[in-house]
Amino acid sequence: MRFMIIVKATKDTEAGVMPSEQLLTEMGKFNEELVKAGVMLAGEGLHPSSKGARVRFSGGKRTVIDGPFAETKELLAGFWLWQVKSKEEAIEWVKRCPNPHNEETEVEIRQVFEAEDFGAELTPELREQEERLRAQIATKQK
């Protein structure tokens, strides 16, 4: 099972305050543990929303909204993508994680959909397309 581990933004991350050397060191050690255990597939920090944009869809209309965005509690500061056996395993790994901010923080855990989750709506042709695209992505990442 794959899970996205979502680190929520804070006023500091939105202000562009960079993590301390100590936190970077602690996170580096934690990431090494994840890689050695075969859990970590990806993980990155994100720039503040002031450098981002949103695209709002309304029927056929697209509206671009430039950051920053007001609701910090709804924003992301970073993420990991993990391969684990269960949600419980993902929870145990998150509990071992250094606090990503120097304040009270929440880290969200969300399961990633797999092809089999879509049932009959994912036709054999769509499954083949999905597999082909994943193979192309894997080739480009090497």
Note the pLDDT tens digit of each residue in 31-75: 999 999 999 999 999 999 999 999 999 999 999 999 999 887 789
DSSP H helices in 57-123: 87-96
In the chain, helix, strand, coil percent, each to 5? 40, 25, 30
Q: Which CATH architecture has domain 2-111?
A: 2-Layer Sandwich (3.30)
Q: Distance between CA 1 and CA 56 in Å, rounded? A: 31
The pTM assigned to this predicted structure is 0.87
Q: Is a pLDDT exceeding 90 seen at residue 5? A: yes
pLDDT at 141: 79
Distance CA 95, CA 97 (A): 6
Pick from 114, 41, 50: which is nearest to 77 by CA?
50
pLDDT of residue 138: 86
